[in-house]
Amino acid sequence: MSFVNKFSLEGKVALVTGASYGIGFAIASAYAEAGATICFNDINQDLVNKGLAAYEEKGIKANGYVCDVTDEEQVQAMVAQIEKEVGVIDILVNNAGIIKRIPMIEMSAADFRKVIDVDLNAPFIVSKAVIPSMIKKGHGKIINICSMMSELGRETVSAYAAAKGGLKMLTRNICSEYGQYNIQCNGIGPGYIETPQTAPLRELQPDGSRHPFDLFICAKTPANRWLKTEELQGPAVFLASDASDAVNGHILYVDGGILAYIGKQPS
Ligand code: NAP
Ligand code: GCO
């Protein structure tokens, strides 16, 4: 058998959280194309319906669920329902995430907690819900969507950076604790990707010029551009497939080179 077959996801069941659109949608679509049966959730029926329609438009039959990933009861119920209706989850992608861009000394503790809840507590809650069946089945893949902010800080994103830094360590800990059961837990650290989450950073200025943050990010990226959601598909399929069975506890940065680069000298 050719090693190429190891990249196939034929016969696998994948759950991608918060995947009605954006990065999660691109990853789940890639999994479907690679042969997996895909499940996704979002926080309300409207978003799930939009997601289902978007998958259908691509010829993909997806299973959509309404579930708030910060609510442990809802998550346990969703995972039980998926196991009953679709099968044991082989691949989990903790993708759902939020950001609040507020200077730290102006941020309320409630806002800080909300970001930590969605971006760090939820991956713990969903991973905890799927691991027991993965252990019984004898394998499993968990992929946590990390960030440049798992490594770097910047103004206004203290809660997000704290959560994504924590998610990097949760990734390493799941690897450490459950690697013995043939469960691989890795992270993907996207660079700056064109999605609704980053749209405010790319908005044109009233005079039609580019947003200063847009220029700043392109200058910090050797690729000199924002990345597309589709560019995360190959890495996400690799980490979900048997081809990566010896890769565990790793964060794969898909950042167009940002972390390797000291930045352009001012002209
Ligand atoms: P996005 O466009 O905002 O999509 C995030 C998805 O998660 C949305 O569908 C959102 O639903 C959902 N969600 C939020 N809270 C949820 C909850 N409690 N329960 C269930 N679903 C929930 O974001 P994205 O840019 O695709 O980002 C996806 C992931 O990649 C996030 O973890 C993000 O931090 C990370 N990331 C993004 C970038 C980037 O440049 N875009 C870079 C690095 C990492 P709503 O529409 O209701 O909010
Ligand atoms: C920001 C951005 C980032 C990206 C991404 C980078 O305000 O700096 O939103 O945090 O979304 O996570 O990898």
The arithmetic mean of pLDDT across residues 91-95, rounded, is 99
Ligand nearest to the CA of 188: 1
Give the model's pLDDT for residue 64. Answer: 98
Q: Are the CB atoms for 48 and 66 separated by under 8 Å?
A: yes
Give the model's pLDDT for residue 265. Answer: 85
* Helix-helix angle 72-85:122-137, to 10 degrees: 30
Residue 16 has pLDDT above 90, yes or no: yes
- The residue whose CB lies within 8 Å of the most ligand 1 atoms, and thus the one to mutate among 197, 231, 233, 255, is 197
Give the model's pLDDT for residue 167. Answer: 99
Q: Are the CB atoms for 247 and 210 separated by under 8 Å?
A: no
**Among protein residues, the one whose CA lies closest to atom 31 of ligand 1:** 97
The arithmetic mean of pLDDT across residues 180-186, rounded, is 99
> 217 CB less than 6 Å from ligand 1?
no
Q: How far is the CA of 180 from the centre of ligand 1 (A)?
A: 31
Residue 172 is encoded by which pair of tokens?
A: 């390493």
User: What percentage of the chain exceeds 90 in pLDDT?
Assistant: 97
Give the model's pLDDT for residue 260. Answer: 98
Instruction: Determine whether 160 is an active site residue.
Output: yes
Provide the phi-psi class of 220: left if phi over 0, else alpha when psi is between -120 and 50, else beta: alpha
Catalytic member of 31, 65, 160, 178: 160
Looking at every residue in the chain, the average pLDDT score rounds to: 97
pLDDT in tens, 39-83: 999 999 999 999 999 999 999 999 999 999 999 999 999 999 999
Ligand nearest to the CA of 66: 1
**Among protein residues, the one whose CA lies closest to atom 47 of ligand 1:** 43
Residue 238 to residues 5, 144, 171, 230, 257, Cα–Cα distance (Å): 11, 14, 17, 14, 19
